[in-house]
Amino acid sequence: MGLVVKKFGGTSVGTTERIQAVAEQVKASREAGDDVVVVVSAMSGETNRLVELAESIHPNPPAREVDVLLSTGEQVTIALLTMALEQIDCPARCYTGAQVRILTDSSFSRARILDIDAEPLQEDLQRGRVVVVAGFQGVDEEGALTTLGRGGSDTTAVALAAALEASECQIYTDVDGVYTTDPRVVPEARRLDRITVDEMLELSSLGSKVLQIRAVEFAGKYRVPLRVLSSFEEGPGTLITYEEEGMEEPLISGIAFNRDEAKISVIGVPDTPGIAAKILGAVAEANIEVDMIIQNISQQGLTDFTFTVHKRDYQATLDLVRDNAEQLGAREVYGDDKIVKLSLVGVGMRSHAGVANTMFRALSNEGINIQMISTSEIKISVVVEEKYLELGVRALHKAFELDVQPVAELEGLSDE
Amino acid sequence: MGLVVKKFGGTSVGTTERIQAVAEQVKASREAGDDVVVVVSAMSGETNRLVELAESIHPNPPAREVDVLLSTGEQVTIALLTMALEQIDCPARCYTGAQVRILTDSSFSRARILDIDAEPLQEDLQRGRVVVVAGFQGVDEEGALTTLGRGGSDTTAVALAAALEASECQIYTDVDGVYTTDPRVVPEARRLDRITVDEMLELSSLGSKVLQIRAVEFAGKYRVPLRVLSSFEEGPGTLITYEEEGMEEPLISGIAFNRDEAKISVIGVPDTPGIAAKILGAVAEANIEVDMIIQNISQQGLTDFTFTVHKRDYQATLDLVRDNAEQLGAREVYGDDKIVKLSLVGVGMRSHAGVANTMFRALSNEGINIQMISTSEIKISVVVEEKYLELGVRALHKAFELDVQPVAELEGLSDE
């Protein structure tokens, strides 16, 4: 297939036995004719161990030194994996992020990749070596070590695949692909053979935490073919595609849900210009992220305003808005943290009317009341009472026949 | 005092509490007006943990990857120590060997330092920061990580002190200085306030393992004032001096001993040119290091040849020489691993006759038979039966009055 970048997370390299299993898998790819670059995370548990060491010394350890500390985690893994490869006669060479060099900005603990020098890696590949690279880490212009934040190894893999113009970037995880919804909620949930990057982004941000959202964005930007697959069992996984490939898209790809939100309603505020900014300004200043925002139409010069925040920010937000209620001229402020957000995702819905209608009818048939609605090009989200999570997801999964392989997708597969 | 380089070994930074204690000590030096560069080793136990990980994957792990793996040990320590310093409001910045950059050759696991770029460290020092550097590690010209071998942190500290023209390089250990001999053998053993670098070299190589011999050589070459002191209790330690300082040297500085040697004798070989090379050639080819070598005068064209090797090489060497005995024309080959080497060290003996005589008489008075003698400019070594170790060391310590502070040394001290 050419050059493949494979990324293995902490669980996949959690023990020396697992590292040896990864080495075997990499060797098999080499023997099948691929050039292979492997990106690895720290062995599972290692990052937490290091964080605990730091916190036993400093209650709020400085980010620059935390990055020096944490980047040892992947450095251990690259050394061990390279030894495991050499042990089975698969020539390999390993590199830290700084060695590659993966140039980042200087935002310690959440740095962004600016550039990658792929030259030395190309040389190793030409000599028939497997290249093993430490994920999650880089170096800034002044030579300081940086890390990309949790899950940053996915981003490293995608960035390397882009820089090396790899034919595929394979992210090995503990699931065997992206599903139409969480199989623990809907046993009929089906693994998708393909999904578009836009859908993947919506699914990631909505709580299907298969891939880091930054990695998916990165992959989209550089058109890196991305595949999610299991490091524990064989299988094709799910390929993340780009739209210009022109296959007919299924109507709906999946259903995401998010239990982590709470809603705040500001009732009966004067519908004057700038009222939304007034309400949300204080929230933004407190560094609280707002997800859905809904403002109903005005009645008698008054309007209702509702938004959602993460559950952990619920009480702080409620207190904040209540403190401002008088100044805002609001009649009432109330909140509810017993809610859940259900989202239908699919690029196909752009060209198909009636998706929203089918969704609302399916929920209504189950007696589920919709509290909030928000839509985007390829997504419809609704907020319902928390207790309806499973019922709602199952009803939608059935209504859109997600348990059945769509004809278009089957045709798409036969092209391969 | 100016700029001081302080080196703390694995035991001194073995726990987070110990790291915090080191931070306090460094801060105190800063507050006393010194600029401070700190060199640290991996936390005790960490290097062994990493080596075990490697060996569970590869029976004979490749040196290049071992260096990538082991160099994470000090990287953890520099991050934690810098956090500890910042926590007590002592501004600090940390650097790995590669970041400094400590340029070495490419002999993985036993690299030699070629060059140090002290520029960036100077900048930090000028800004009032403590600089924390990972010991034991460097980077080669191609950017590969290297390590200097066990104890290499001492060498890092001395090399940094030379590059920064530090006023002193202080090596913190678990002993409070260099003693006239091992206090466990002679309770009257006295801590030396000063010792010359040559004496220190002899004492190091003879088994007083206070400092790494390479570090001492390095210090001698660059005339770096080196001080050995305890990281657990206060005290002046021992200053390692250079001869041109011109103080009158005490006759004898100390008595070293080595229990790790064994001797091999080749009896009755023809005393022809090249016989020594023939005997030792095979030993050298087997990568066995020889320490003392003695050849007695020839009698009737035959000579006896004796040499010592490390005890772990004893059986292999004996087998090797026995296999060659016929070819060498030797009458007999025999070995003895129940021996010990006692050495008297002191630059003063160069200008004083009678030292050897006093030594031999002291041993003879105790009924100790001398099996081998070997001398250098500042050292006399004898091999005696193993059981005489303690008796011999105590007899020599007393004969040379090492328990008494010499007058010259007291005067030297009063100059400070």
Task: Note whether B383 and B293 are within 8 A (CB).
Answer: no
For residue A170 the two structure tokens come to 């394979």
B188 phi/psi in degrees, rounded to 5: -80, 0
Residue A19 predicted with pLDDT over 50:
yes
| B59-86 mean pLDDT | 97
Of A122-126, B272-276, B324-328, the range with the lowest mean pLDDT is: B272-276
Closest partner CB to A57 (pick from B16, B53, B54): B16
Among residues of chain A, what percentage have pLDDT more than 70?
93
* pLDDT value at residue B413: 40
Which residue stretches of A88-179 are H helix?
A: 97-100, 119-126, 152-163
| B171-184 mean pLDDT | 87
Task: List binding-site positions of B for substrate.
Answer: 47, 74
Closest partner CB to A80 (pick from B57, B86, B99): B57
| B83-89 mean pLDDT | 97
| pLDDT digit string, tens, across residues B102-112 | 999 999 998 99
* pLDDT value at residue A378: 87
**A63 close contact with B: CB closer than 8 A:** no
DSSP B183: T
Considering only CB atoms, which chain B residues are within 8 Å of A79?
Answer: 54, 65-66, 68-69
* pLDDT value at residue A412: 40
CA distance B142 to chain A (A): 10
Type of residue at A97: G
Considering only CB atoms, which chain B residues are within 8 Å of A65?
Answer: 79-80, 82-83, 86, 94
**A146 close contact with B: CB closer than 8 A:** no
CA distance B72 to chain A (A): 5
* pLDDT value at residue A313: 93
Task: Note whether A303 and A295 are within 8 A (CB).
Answer: yes
Domains of chain B: 3-173 (3.40.1160.10), 244-416 (3.30.2130.10)
Question: What residues contact B307, with CB distance under 8 A and at least 6 apart?
Answer: B263, B264, B279, B280, B283, B290, B291, B292, B293, B294
Q: Write out residues 13-32 of A within 8 Å (CB-CB) of B.
A: 16, 19-20
Considering only CB atoms, which chain A residues are within 8 Å of B83?
Answer: 54, 57-58, 61-62, 65-66, 69
* pLDDT value at residue B245: 53
Inspect the interface and report whether the beta carbons of A84 and B50 lie closer than 8 Å.
no
**B62 close contact with A: CB closer than 8 A:** yes
Inspect the interface and report whether the beta carbons of B58 and A83 lie closer than 8 Å.
yes
For residue A67 the two structure tokens come to 């990055």
Give the pLDDT band of residue B1 (cuts 50, 70, 90). Answer: low
| pLDDT digit string, tens, across residues B307-360 | 999 999 999 999 999 988 888 888 899 999 999 999 999 887 877 778 888 999
Residue B299 predicted with pLDDT over 60:
yes
CA distance B315 to chain A (A): 31
**A61 close contact with B: CB closer than 8 A:** yes
A22 phi/psi in degrees, rounded to 5: -60, -40
Rounded distance, CA B256 to CA B236, Å? Answer: 22
Q: Write out residues 88-117 of A within 8 Å (CB-CB) of B.
A: 94, 96, 98-99
* pLDDT value at residue A409: 47
Rounded distance, CA A257 to CA B246, Å? Answer: 82
**A71 close contact with B: CB closer than 8 A:** yes
SS3 percent helix, strand, coil of chain A, rounded to 5, is 40, 25, 35
Among residues of chain A, what percentage have pLDDT more than 90?
60
* pLDDT value at residue A416: 32
Considering only CB atoms, which chain B residues are within 8 Å of A80?
Answer: 53-54, 57, 65, 69
* pLDDT value at residue B178: 86
Closest residue, chain B, to A19 (C-alpha)? B57
| pLDDT digit string, tens, across residues B370-400 | 998 888 888 899 999 999 999 999 999 999 9
| B156-177 mean pLDDT | 92
Average predicted confidence (pLDDT) for chain A? 89
**B146 close contact with A: CB closer than 8 A:** no
Q: Would you call A277 helix, strand, or coil by DSSP?
A: helix
Rounded distance, CA B106 to CA B94, Å? Answer: 24
For residue B183 the two structure tokens come to 């206090």
* pLDDT value at residue B151: 73
Q: Closest Cα to residue B399, out of B376, B353, B370, B365?
A: B365
Q: What's the burial of A350, exposed, middle or buried (CB within 10 Å: 0-12/13-18/19+)?
A: exposed
Closest residue, chain B, to A143 (C-alpha)? B99
Considering only CB atoms, which chain B residues are within 8 Å of A124?
Answer: none
* pLDDT value at residue A413: 39
**B378 close contact with A: CB closer than 8 A:** no
Work out the end-to-end distance of chain B between its first and last CA atoms, rounded to an integer number of angstroms: 12
The more confident residue out of A38 and B278 is: A38
| A324-338 mean pLDDT | 90
Task: Note whether A21 and A79 are within 8 A (CB).
Answer: no
Task: Provide the β-strand partners of residue B104.
Answer: B113
| pLDDT digit string, tens, across residues A221-255 | 888 999 999 988 889 999 988 865 555 566 788 99
Q: Write out residues 316-335 of A within 8 Å (CB-CB) of B.
A: none
Residue A217 predicted with pLDDT over 50:
yes
Selected residue of A24, A64, A68 to mutate for chain B interface (largest B Cβ count, 10 A): A68
Considering only CB atoms, which chain A residues are within 8 Å of B54?
Answer: 79-80, 83
| B39-50 mean pLDDT | 95
A210 marked among binding-site residues: yes
Considering only CB atoms, which chain B residues are within 8 Å of A145?
Answer: 96, 99
**B53 close contact with A: CB closer than 8 A:** yes
Q: Could you give the count of Cα atoms lying within 13 Å of A178 in the half-sphere of its Cβ? A: 32
Q: Is the preceding omega at residue B101 within 30 degrees of 0, hence cis?
A: yes
Task: Provide the β-strand partners of residue A51.
Answer: none
Considering only CB atoms, which chain A residues are within 8 Å of B143?
Answer: 99
| A277-294 mean pLDDT | 86
* pLDDT value at residue B202: 79
| A88-116 mean pLDDT | 95
Q: Closest Cα to residue A139, out of B65, B139, B98, B118?
A: B98
Inspect the interface and report whether the beta carbons of A62 and B72 lie closer than 8 Å.
no
Residue A410 predicted with pLDDT over 50:
no
* pLDDT value at residue B405: 75
Residue A138 predicted with pLDDT over 60:
yes
**A276 close contact with B: CB closer than 8 A:** no
Selected residue of B20, B51, B68, B136 to mutate for chain A interface (largest A Cβ count, 10 A): B68
**Bridge pairing between strands B3-8 and B35-40:** parallel
**A58 close contact with B: CB closer than 8 A:** yes
| A28-38 mean pLDDT | 96
Give the pLDDT band of residue B46 (cuts 50, 70, 90). Answer: very high
**Bridge pairing between strands B379-385 and B339-345:** antiparallel
Residue A150 predicted with pLDDT over 60:
yes
Task: Note whether B256 and B343 are within 8 A (CB).
Answer: yes
Considering only CB atoms, which chain A residues are within 8 Å of B20?
Answer: 57
The more confident residue out of A20 and B405 is: A20
A222 phi/psi in degrees, rounded to 5: -105, 10
Work out the end-to-end distance of chain A between its first and last CA atoms, rounded to an integer number of angstroms: 12
* pLDDT value at residue A247: 54
* pLDDT value at residue A276: 81
Give the pLDDT band of residue A204 (cuts 50, 70, 90). Answer: low
Considering only CB atoms, which chain B residues are within 8 Å of A87?
Answer: 57-58
**B84 close contact with A: CB closer than 8 A:** yes
Considering only CB atoms, which chain A residues are within 8 Å of B16?
Answer: 53, 56-57
* pLDDT value at residue B182: 85
Residue A414 predicted with pLDDT over 50:
no
Count contacts between A and B (CB, < 8 Å).
101
